[in-house]
Chain A
Amino acid sequence: MTDQPPDLHAWFVREVLPLEAALTRYLLRYRSNKGDVADLLQDIYLRVYDSARRALPQSTRSFVFVTAHNLLVDRVRREKVIPLETVESIEAIGVAAEIAGAEESLIAREELRRVQAALDALPPRSREAILLRQVNGLSRREIAARMGIAEQTVKWHLNAGVRALADIFYGNSDQQRSKP
């Protein structure tokens, strides 16, 4: 697939991505702009990945949050935008991270329910396109024919759909919390 050692990919999906919700909540306290948070997340992931390439951290959770903390402190120094005292201590972050960890273990059936809940939260056209693909096994061209819209439009609905799913699964989405 790629020339990366496969365990780095597995590690990222298994241990880093589940922290995104807590991480986003943390970042949102200092940046209200959603796009800004996406940029910060990207920077954090890059730093974490860079270091994991040399060696996987002993505790991914604290490593990710320490990285986030350092990044924010760097920005504060550089931009002088956020007052330094609002960047909270690592101990306080630790608590938020623990809560995120409780969400990690999902048995198959719960997982399926969660996938359903995530689909419910998607825009209808994106949801429809994804279901036609994943349940009915149709290709993009066939989905376009079935939905009676251009293939290019289907492409956009799928694109928006998969991005929204990632935000719901990993990011800070109220949808995720409000549905049991």
Chain B
Amino acid sequence: MSDQVEEVGGAEALRIEAADWLMRQRTSDLWAQEDQAALESWLAKSPAHLLAYWRLEAAWSRTDRLAALRDVPQARPAQARRKNIGSFLTRSVAVAACFAVVGFLLLRSSVPLGREFSTSVGGHETIRLADGSLIELNTNTTVHVLDGGNGRTVTLDKGEAYFQIVHNQASPFEVLVGDRKLVDIGTAFSVRKETNRLQVAIVEGQVRFAPLHPKDGKPIYLSSGDMLVASAGKTSVTRLASPDLKSELGWRRGLLIFYRKPLADAAEEFNRYNQQQIVVVGEAAGKLPVSGALSANDPEQFVRMARNVFGLRVERRNSEILISR
């Protein structure tokens, strides 16, 4: 009985319906505001709708990673062809144009992301690219310089990096971050990627910030002094005063610069750079405003400040330092 198609009902029927909404939203030529409104009202109808949709959306967005491979060169011989894929490919003569990319993608056991550069926690390194552009990697950061795009396409997989780009009108420099990309128009800028947040600060020149799929939204043009923050569904741009911009990029000099930053946030910032983690216990302590420039790799300095300036209690436990009132 279990394999009968007619038996589909209940949760399975709901999954089909949710998949229909998701696929319409993600693959239509045109997805208007009315469509989005209709989707949202369907989602609002029942938590079951919402949860079924979230589940599929989460699975789908994992394939967004594939877009990062778009710049892979087309002509790469595929020797280790898998049987099932081979027949699938030969049948699909119509898709000859995308053979190389698709085939390449499926046939390789390891994915060709290009050259990898990374730093560990507390690390700080500068890479010079063939065209003279510089990429400065902050703590716990990974970038890939893709084989395609004249070595001018880079993915930021995690962490934070500062880009000083040698401009080339004919071959724009691209930074791919998740499902977004940044295209330089003569520039120095920093990009920081967190789990659910992306932050871009422009020091010099102009950058175009766009979704990887042109259909997913309009590009935003950023110029020097702009700071963009994108998180779940929301993107905002603020204009930074020059000192704020300096604080954002303090890490380039090994410094963390805070101005009236809540202690808990400051500790979190520190923790990006050190194995030894600082935990601020309690909301009251966490909200204390911190100002100053501290050395990123010296948690002791931070601890001294907490003890001497704020009179907080410090307790050490294995790799953690607990700070409380």
Residues of chain B within 8 A of A113, CB atoms compared: 110-111
CB interface residues, A 119-154, toward B, < 8 Å: 119-120, 124, 127-128, 130-137, 139-141, 143, 146-148
Q: Is the Cβ of A46 less than 8 Å from the Cβ of B63?
A: no
Q: Is the Cβ of B55 less than 8 Å from the Cβ of A116?
A: no
Q: Does B321 contact A (CB under 8 A)?
A: no
CB interface residues, A 1-48, toward B, < 8 Å: 1-4, 6, 9-10, 12-13, 17, 32-36, 38-39, 41-42, 45-46
Minimum C-beta distance from B36 to chain A (A) = 9
Q: Is the Cβ of B59 less than 8 Å from the Cβ of A166?
A: yes
Q: Is the Cβ of B44 less than 8 Å from the Cβ of A3?
A: yes
The answer to whether residues A137 and B48 also contact, given A35-B2, A35-B9, A120-B106 and a CB cut-off of 8 A, is no
Q: Is the Cβ of B20 less than 8 Å from the Cβ of A13?
A: no
Q: Does A112 contact B (CB under 8 A)?
A: yes
Residues of chain A within 8 A of B232, CB atoms compared: 1, 6, 9-10
The answer to whether residues A46 and B51 also contact, given A6-B233, A135-B102, A147-B95 and a CB cut-off of 8 A, is yes
Q: Is the Cβ of B26 less than 8 Å from the Cβ of A133?
A: yes
Q: Does A49 contact B (CB under 8 A)?
A: yes
Which residue from A35, A41, A50, A159 sits with its C-beta under 8 Å from B7?
A: A35
Q: Is the Cβ of B92 less than 8 Å from the Cβ of A119?
A: no
Q: Is the Cβ of B65 less than 8 Å from the Cβ of A112?
A: yes
A13 to B299 CA separation, bound complex (whole angstroms): 33
Q: Is the Cβ of B11 less than 8 Å from the Cβ of A32?
A: no
Q: Is the Cβ of B29 less than 8 Å from the Cβ of A169?
A: no
Q: Does B218 contact A (CB under 8 A)?
A: no
Q: Is the Cβ of B59 less than 8 Å from the Cβ of A165?
A: yes
CB interface residues, A 58-117, toward B, < 8 Å: 108-109, 111-113, 115-116
Which residue from B8, B15, B47, B98 sits with its C-beta under 8 Å from A46?
A: B47
Q: Is the Cβ of B70 less than 8 Å from the Cβ of A17?
A: no
Q: Is the Cβ of A141 less than 8 Å from the Cβ of B98?
A: no
Residues of chain A within 8 A of B169, CB atoms compared: none
Which residue from B9, B27, B55 sits with its C-beta under 8 Å from A166?
A: B55
The answer to whether residues A124 and B88 also contact, given A116-B105, A132-B95 and a CB cut-off of 8 A, is yes
Q: Does A56 contact B (CB under 8 A)?
A: no
Residues of chain B within 8 A of A130, CB atoms compared: 63
Minimum C-beta distance from B30 to chain A (A) = 9
Minimum C-beta distance from A3 to chain B (A) = 7
Can you list 22 pairs linking A and B with CB atoms under 8 Å apart? A2-B40, A33-B1, A35-B7, A35-B10, A49-B47, A49-B50, A108-B142, A109-B111, A119-B63, A124-B88, A127-B88, A128-B92, A130-B63, A132-B98, A134-B63, A135-B70, A137-B67, A137-B213, A140-B23, A165-B60, A165-B62, A166-B55
Q: Is the Cβ of A42 less than 8 Å from the Cβ of B54?
A: no
Q: Is the Cβ of B10 less than 8 Å from the Cβ of A136?
A: no
A99 to B58 CA separation, bound complex (whole angstroms): 21
Q: Does B28 contact A (CB under 8 A)?
A: yes
Residues of chain B within 8 A of A155, CB atoms compared: 20, 23-24
Residues of chain B within 8 A of A46, CB atoms compared: 47-48, 51
Number of A interface residues, CB 8 Å?
A: 61
The answer to whether residues A148 and B94 also contact, given A41-B11, A116-B106, A135-B66 and a CB cut-off of 8 A, is yes
Q: Does B228 contact A (CB under 8 A)?
A: no
| Max chain A Cβ within 10 angstroms of own Cβ: one of B1, B12, B63 | B63
The answer to whether residues A34 and B158 also contact, given A134-B66, A162-B59 and a CB cut-off of 8 A, is no
Q: Is the Cβ of B62 less than 8 Å from the Cβ of A111?
A: yes
Q: Is the Cβ of B55 less than 8 Å from the Cβ of A170?
A: yes
Which residue from B8, B58, B106, B213 sits with its C-beta under 8 Å from A35?
A: B8
A128 to B102 CA separation, bound complex (whole angstroms): 8
A139 to B91 CA separation, bound complex (whole angstroms): 22
Minimum C-beta distance from B178 to chain A (A) = 10
Q: Does B314 contact A (CB under 8 A)?
A: no
Q: Is the Cβ of B233 less than 8 Å from the Cβ of A135?
A: no
Residues of chain B within 8 A of A170, CB atoms compared: 55, 58-59
Residues of chain A within 8 A of B60, CB atoms compared: 162, 165
Nearest-CB residue, chain A, relative to B72: A135
